[in-house]
Chains A and B, each alone.
Chain A
Amino acid sequence: MKITQSDLDLFSAASHDVNPMHMDADYARKTAFGEPVVFGILGALAALGHTRDRNGECLAGVLFTFHSPLLRDIEYQTVVTEKSSEKTTVDVFDAGRMVLTAVFTFQPSEQESEEWPAERPGVHRSEPSEWTEAVLAGGIVVAGNYTPALAKLRALIDRWGLRRKGVSPLQIAILVWSSYLIGMELPGKTALFSRLRLTFETPAETPSFPLVYRARTLVLDPRFQLLKIALDVEAGGLTLASGQAASLIRPESPVSSADSLRALLPNEPRLLGQTALVIGGSRGFGAALSLGLALQGARVLLAYQHSAVEAEAVRSQAGEAPGKIELVQGDATDITWLQTLCSQIQEDGGGLDMLICNACPPIRALAFAPEALGRFQEFITQSVALVSAPAGAFIDLLAERKGWNVVISSEFVRTVPAEWPHYVAAKYAIEGMTRAIQAQQPSVQSLIVRPPRLLTDQTNTPMGRMDAMPVEAAAAAVIRRFSEPAPDGVETMERFDPLIR
């Protein structure tokens, strides 16, 4: 099955769930997933469409586990298993990696499952709620009336062939409501829907909308920000469904701290008069490097492509620094843009002392499998381009000052996590290219940086954050290296111990 942007648009219109992780590409780009993710319930409904038709049966319960977010335009594989006549499980895989499990339980029913409730409007939010962790941990109840957009819901049912699957329009309305609840109400904006267990009641007659719902927080596990919520839905005084949902709470985007960097860097500015170009300098490790270099007195050209607001925030943080940050916007794989930038640096009468290639495409788990080879190869191509193009444009300018050619690799080239084969391959390619460039242009000083997992937007999930190193610590270690004697050939940096200035 494949889910497209128009499927997201339809589901959002039907459900009133406009959570930005699904519907705002710019917002989603700055999450760990790098792009809008598919509504979990939409994935489960698409999975339902792969089950056999059921006559004289109705849905008794569901258990959905969203192991990993689904993304647009990927051809997912479904495995349908019937362990009994009442129970169907649909496992959804991305190249052998399980991303969704949807269990549907049915029971006999004499009721016409396609009967539509009468439409009466409910009340829905246009912006998602934002609760503090303290409020969620303290326990809250959210209640309201809900009616999906029925014309859109009909289109959704038709899109995924959900008629005759033993699921009534009312039950599908309840399922899309659960998406609205998690994405818009509780926990709202920072939600990452993880699990849904619902048991359906079978009313003697189909009640009218709106659904009347009540959701109550049960517990927030602070170790991995997992919120469990009790759910009850009724309409017209009839109980329709009850159960439990779980949602991870996505942490705030990590921002580099100038104070942390100051504490880790030498008191006196050691890079006065030097110029650095940081490719991918607006967020995460690149932002910490840019800020730290400015704090050490360097003139920093911070290159970014999309994140203008974040780039400006880094620049303003360096306001009182001995150095300064200048923003340059462009595509770092565009050799024409890079050569123009190179000419501007030369026309300004300056040179280049450090080229730091930090930019990387969004890193998502990926199996090494035939059906994923396209994404595997594309990731490597983009990753290599983000280093080869800047190196190609600036290496001669860098050589004039015996400058540093710095590439950001990863300790994963040694530890090799199984779910990131594309990332490991790309980093190996980048390291090899750096050695080849050094052989061709021995005047430059090459530094391959292999930090451990860093706390950045790329790793900013409840599980990804575990044991991740703050970017300031790794950035300070790199920056301190610039004021030490030059390496003999290519140096690989693998130690990022806490530093005392």
Chain B
Amino acid sequence: MLTIDNETKLKDIVAETLGVDAEEIEGTASPATLPSWTSFNHLTLMSAVEEAFGLTLSMEEMTGVKSYADLAATVGRHLG
């Protein structure tokens, strides 16, 4: 689970990268619901998350992120 601060930080990164408002981002947000969540922006997003949280995601983790909820869970596992 992410802390409230980290949840806010993660939503800000997603919002900045995908060009959407942070309020639009729910757990079900995904490439299917956000047109700007393209395959290239997926890479940009993973890279931005790694940089902001100081972690390294494996390829399996990156390709396993199918929604915002997946991303939050993945980051949460790394932060412990």
Contact = CB atoms under 8 A, between A and B. Distances in A.
Interface of A: 65-68, 89, 91, 93, 96-98, 101, 103, 194-195, 221, 223-224, 226, 246, 248, 462-463, 466-467
Contacts of A221: 47
B23 to A, nearest CB: 13
A252 to B, nearest CB: 20
B74 interface: no
26 contacts: A65-B19, A65-B36, A65-B41, A65-B44, A66-B40, A67-B40, A67-B41, A68-B38, A68-B39, A91-B35, A91-B36, A97-B35, A98-B36, A101-B19, A101-B36, A103-B19, A194-B40, A194-B44, A221-B47, A223-B59, A226-B43, A226-B47, A246-B44, A462-B43, A463-B39, A463-B40
A195 B44 contact: yes
Contact of B63 (A195, A462, A466): A466
B35 A93 contact: yes
A443 B28 CA distance: 53
Contacts of B39: 67-68, 463
Contacts of A68: 38-40
Contact of A98 (B35, B43, B47): B35
A467 B62 CA distance: 13
A72 B40 CA distance: 21
Most B CB contacts (10 A, CB to CB) among A89, A223, A226 go to A223
Contacts of B36: 65, 67, 91, 98, 101
B47 to A, nearest CB: 6
Given A96-B35, A103-B19, A223-B59, 4 more contacts: A65-B41, A67-B36, A89-B19, A248-B40
A97 B31 CA distance: 11
Contacts of B43: 224, 226, 462-463
Most B CB contacts (10 A, CB to CB) among A67, A91, A221 go to A67
Contacts of A223: 59
Nearest to B31: A418
Interface in B5-54: 19, 35-36, 38-41, 43-44, 47
Most B CB contacts (10 A, CB to CB) among A98, A103, A467 go to A98
Nearest to B43: A224
B62 to A, nearest CB: 8
Contacts of A194: 40, 44
Nearest to A67: B38
A466 B41 CA distance: 16
Contacts of B41: 65, 67
A481 B9 CA distance: 55
A195 B16 CA distance: 13
Contacts of A248: 40
A462 B43 CA distance: 10
Q: Closest 10 CB pairs between A and B?
A: A67-B38, A98-B35, A67-B40, A224-B43, A463-B39, A98-B36, A98-B38, A101-B19, A194-B40, A101-B36
B35 A466 contact: no
